[in-house]
Structure 1
Amino acid sequence: MNEIAIQTEEFIERLKDAFDEMIVYKDLKKSNFISSFKLPSFMRDWVIKHFQDDNGEINVDGAVEFIKEFIPKKDEWINIKNRIVMQGENVQFLAKISIRIDIATQEISFELPDFGLGYANTVIPRDVWEDCSSDLLKSEENWGIVELGYQYPDEDNSKGKIKLVSFRDFCPYVVDLDDYKYARESFSFTEWINILLSAADYNPGGYESMEQKLAVIQRLLPFVEKRINLMELAPAGTGKSYLFGQVSRHGWLVSGKVTRAKLIYDIGKKKDGVVAVRDYVALDEIREAEYMKDTEIQSALQAIMENGAYRAPDNHEVNVDAGIIFLGNIDSTVMNEYQNMFVELPKPFHQPQFLDRIHGFIKGWDIPRMTDDLKVCGWALNSEYFATVLHSLRDDPTYRAIVDALVVLPKGADTRDTEAIKRISTAYLKLLFPNVRSASDITSYDFKKYCLKPAMEMRQIIRMQMGYADDKYQGSVVPEFTIKEIEE
């Protein structure tokens, strides 16, 4: 039965009452015209919302016209430069922007990384900075409508530059976390799981069981909790690259080549890599990844996974809150945690000291191959809003305090096991029970079944693979963590 496609009117009303303007009608089959523009889902939903009526019908012509005008392709950049520099036009479009403040000159410049426009050729006039600084300082990189013009050379400035004329934030609304947490109370556990899946573009009705749905939910753990390191091996076509690469603008998917400078730290530019500015970095196709043979990248990743920091050769420290996610395809003959699944993976995955720093393993073969039946069709949370909520929840320490209060450590528990299990349990609590504000707000049954037990299972697989990597760890098991009974 296709649950999401036949949502009841009563459920839709509750959904709209709980989330108001953050609800959008998603139909990935009918919105293929947007897919042709290769927009990530967080941007797609933003466009759809602006051109959708109360019944979910999209003004296709208006949406296409907007995309063509405001979301240029990379190969259109030369034409945009011509309009700005040679024709003197002001041009507006949607782009990712980062800023730099020069201490020596007090000059403020910006970068559009997707178009190769660097700081050396740009400037933000002081009056524009005063108008836009609050939005531009929200994070290291921000999405929004940039308006660009040209600053001509003069006697004091012999070099012409592209200037920022105005900036409108891509996410103009303010996320109220308390509203989101309170909304959870309006829905059953099953309904909430369906809401999470549809927010990430999946059709809950396409899955055969709750177990399959929860397997997909595992992929959202690093979206909501800092420094969760995971590994997923899965058959091709299960959608792992899509989820990590398209749903949130706060994450980064590496598919193909990447340099140490881009990933970790650029010594020449004295600039931190993406691990320092993203919520997670997902390293895809690790079996073929040449960069995983780079010993400096290996040691940097190991340090980051352990301490959340990396000391560069020039003594600069890169501080990291991002989770490191390793993704790879796996042959059906080795889809079994009770055997060595890492035979064909690069050297680091044959080293127990590297594996030990991975908190948990996702069995991607429990997730069905992506089909049209698994694409969302119905009222759902705007993906941009959803991703922003998960990003914001990363800074809420109360959930970890609840986990600390509930979990009883077994005698002699390994520190890395303890941290891995608590960190994953905390992420599950944020995802599945965001309304929980104290240990007494959740039953022991729910916490054990949906938070603690899956965390232990994910960690146990890593433990077993460490045993295949080194006989010293053979038979190593995660001890039984229990739950403290909390009085109402």
Structure 2
Amino acid sequence: MENFHDDLSEDLNTKLNDNFAGRIVRKDLTKKIKEGANVPVYVLEYLLGKYCATTEESLIHQGVENVKKILAENYVRPDEAQKILSKLRESGSYTVIDTVTVRLNYKLDRYEADFSNLGLSGVPIAKEYPSKYERLLGGNIWCMINFEYFFDEADQRRNPFIIKKLSPIQMPNLDLEEIIVGRDNFTKEQWIDVLLRSCGMEPTQFDERVKWLLLARLIPLVENNFNLCELGPRGTGKSHVYREISPNSILVSGGQTTVANLFYNMSTKLIGLVGMWDCVAFDEVAGIHFKDKDGVPIMKDYMASGSFSRGKDEKNASASMVFVGNINQSVDVLLKTSSLFDPFPEDMGKDTAFFDRMHCYVPGWEIPKYRPEFFTNDYGFITDYLSEFMREMRKRSYADALDDYFKLGNNLNQRDVVAVRKMVSGLIKLVYPNGVYDKEDIREILVFALESRRRVKEQLKKIGGMEFYDVNFSYIDNETLQEDFVSVPEQSGGKLIPEGIHKPGHLYTVGQADKGMIGVFKIETEMMNGTGKFNCTGIGSKKEVKEAINTAYSYLKSNSSNVSGTISTKNKDYLMQVQDLNGVGMTKYLALASFVALCSAALNKPVLASTAILGSISIGGTILKIEELANILQVCLDSGAKKVLIPISSSADLTNVPPELIGNFSLIFYQSAEDAVFKALGVE
């Protein structure tokens, strides 16, 4: 198997050398040097591309030594800044590699540069540099700088450091046609492997699903104004792409930021990060915090439209927004107790409008934790070449590509449609930059896009309720008119209310818990010979819940003859257990369902298959109206119920429930507790 893998890699390496000579680098070289130098991958590969653009082993070795020498002599380590400055003073000129930020000193009407590791600030820089390389104004651009040193005795206030030449570490130009023509010589699978190797990953270590998830991380780099969220365990490389792979993206660490920094500075009249970078990524979403009160509203405005208002002006920008962070609990627990957006800070956590602007949610828990063998030793594009290709592709759009073959289903609203089209466009740009694809290629991408947006919508439904009920995403084949529905893996299997007939005394009810969350509850009841004892477990210590269960048994003792003369509460014992299947906390709306369960056990007759029993009763048998009927019915649908027992008194509220939701059930109405028993057991 290993030899087969080696043959495939060799074939791909040969193809890359044939089609992209001088544009590729062996990634193990990057790894070797990276371990000893704290510079981003694109800085290393810029140098490796200059000195190691060959397949001849001896020349590669010589090139690697050159790169090591350049880094050893020119890369500025913060603790060695004074040593470098001393060398510069003694020799009169010196070349360094450092991060540079340029700003306008309007008091002196000149541009000045700050050097991060070197510790220099206020060094005059020619205006041609910020004009030619705008991103210098955004801050922290890696550059090679040729300094001269001249101390003027006559003017001692004059800065002695002179920038002779400054070169941002990025490719000067890109021939996009070269990539488009070269792509024709690779299969889809080979091209995906090339992209992943270019990011440093070894594709043979991942299955197809994980490969597509890793590709999704690149969409914000090829698609304008694309909002992506990825939450998952630690150690899965969530921020790697945005920190290391592209000089066109910036990773905002630590979370705290300002509107001036991110969007627009009113005093300097300079646009913020969204105008300087193709992608702004936030590391550790839990820590995102704006010093300004209007920070989140401005971010929402920008995420929706690509524009924002500051003062009298409306500004436009094309930067994509990425939110990455850690999930500390298991996904199963989060799905049961809260939402997959739970790690976001409180001022965003309940804001459905903010999350609705997310185009894609990458399920980070499906990506394995990185191990050494996940990093490739084979050839891939120089990361700078890859990032310039992605930057150039931002000018194109394939948003309408799906229209040739498919239509989108009616559950997608306008935001959903925009999200899906952007995702389809982004993945086509990455995988089929030559525009050559067929129907099945688009179907594969479309299904992935629908799933990624539906994951957002499913969580919105949990947070915002019925406003987001329409989550059953589908697409329709233009030729056959067949409609296919797309689900999300983490919620598609294991319905809480399974199909088939259950044991007598076993049933399901859906109700609201203390904190307003709606859950599914399973009641299991057993009857045995005894002296009329009743015992219930699983309900906790809350008084209201205990009262609901006692109401059910008291009503059975008083009214059992109205159901059947065979029911006995004197020479039988009843044991009941209630399970909170969603982990939302116990509900107090248990009286009616418990009464039905007791009767089902006493009569040894099972409840109808796939039925959810809704509603509650008072001690006197009064049927209580259902609160939040629409939301409760949505949970019934999600949990697998096919039939729903509801009180006739709640029928008026059905006007507030979307017809598409009602159409999923057989609704069974009851007028009294006894009627509910007959209907639930299918007794005429």
Structure-1 residue corresponding to 2:94? 91
Structure-2 residue corresponding to 1:23? 24
Residues 1:377 and 2:377 are matched in the alignment: yes
Q: Which amino acid aligns with 2:297?
A: S
SS of equivalent to 2:285: coil
CA deviation string 1:346-383 (max 9, x = no partner): 12132111111111100011111100110111122111
Structure-2 residue corresponding to 1:357? 357
Structure-1 residue corresponding to 2:460? 466
**Match of residue 438, structure 2, among 437, 443, 450:** 443
SS of equivalent to 1:476: coil
- Contact in 1 for aligned 2:77/2:117 (Cα 8 Å): no
Distance 1:342 1:105, change over 3 A: closer
SS of equivalent to 2:16: helix
Structure-1 residue corresponding to 2:449? 455
Structure-2 residue corresponding to 1:46? 46
Q: Which amino acid aligns with 2:374?
A: L
Structure-2 residue corresponding to 1:302? 300
- Contact in 1 for aligned 2:245/2:383 (Cα 8 Å): yes
Shift of 1:305: 0.5
Structure-2 residue corresponding to 1:396? 396
Shift of 1:467: 0.9
Supply the distance in 2 between the matched residues of 1:143 and 1:475 (Cα, whole angstroms): 48
- Root-mean-square deviation over aligned CA pairs: 3.2
Q: Which amino acid aligns with 2:463?
A: A
Supply the distance in 1 between the matched residues of 2:154 and 2:269 (Cα, whole angstroms): 31
CA deviation string 1:37-81 (max 9, x = no partner): 122111122233344352454345433211012221233334444
Distance 1:172 1:418, change over 3 A: closer
Instruction: Give the TM-score normalised by structure 2.
Output: 0.62
Shift of 1:187: 1.0
Distance 1:226 1:55, change over 3 A: same
Q: Which amino acid aligns with 1:467?
A: K
SS of equivalent to 2:419: helix
Distance 1:77 1:309, change over 3 A: farther
Supply the distance in 1 between the matched residues of 2:226 and 2:11 (Cα, whole angstroms): 37
Distance 1:144 1:391, change over 3 A: same
Distance 1:101 1:193, change over 3 A: same
Shift of 1:234: 1.0
CA deviation string 1:103-140 (max 9, x = no partner): 9987454444565644x43132x8xx4xx788546875
SS of equivalent to 1:197: helix
Q: Which aligned pairs between 1:115-134 and structure 2 lie closer than 5 A? A: 115=118, 117-118=120-121, 120-124=122-126, 129=128
Supply the distance in 2 between the matched residues of 1:393 and 1:180 (Cα, whole angstroms): 11
Structure-2 residue corresponding to 1:320? 317
Q: Which aligned pairs between 1:340-355 and structure 2 lie closer than 5 A? A: 340-347=339-346, 348-355=348-355
Shift of 1:393: 0.9
Supply the distance in 2 between the matched residues of 1:371 and 1:109 (Cα, whole angstroms): 43
**Match of residue 474, structure 2, among 472, 476, 480:** 480
- Contact in 2 for aligned 1:110/1:123 (Cα 8 Å): yes
Structure-2 residue corresponding to 1:195? 194
Aligned length: 468
- Contact in 2 for aligned 1:335/1:341 (Cα 8 Å): no
- Contact in 2 for aligned 1:417/1:478 (Cα 8 Å): no
SS of equivalent to 1:16: helix
Supply the distance in 2 between the matched residues of 1:186 and 1:228 (Cα, whole angstroms): 30
Shift of 1:177: 0.8
Residues 1:237 and 2:231 are matched in the alignment: no
* Structure 2: segments with no counterpart, 5+ residues: 480-684
Sequence identity (%): 23
Structure-1 residue corresponding to 2:73? 69
- Contact in 1 for aligned 2:194/2:381 (Cα 8 Å): yes
Distance 1:296 1:404, change over 3 A: farther
Residues 1:228 and 2:222 are matched in the alignment: no
Larger radius of gyration: 2
Structure-1 residue corresponding to 2:626? none
Flag the structure with more relative contact order, 1 or 2, with Cα contacts below 8 A and sequence separation at least 6.
1
Supply the distance in 1 between the matched residues of 2:214 and 2:171 (Cα, whole angstroms): 30
Q: Which aligned pairs between 1:2-13 and structure 2 lie closer than 5 A? A: 6-13=7-14
Q: Which aligned pairs between 1:155-304 and structure 2 lie closer than 5 A? A: 159-160=158-159, 162-207=161-206, 209-260=207-258, 261-287=260-286, 289-291=287-289, 295-304=293-302
Supply the distance in 1 between the matched residues of 2:6 and 2:136 (Cα, whole angstroms): 37
Instruction: Give the TM-score normalised by structure 1.
Output: 0.85
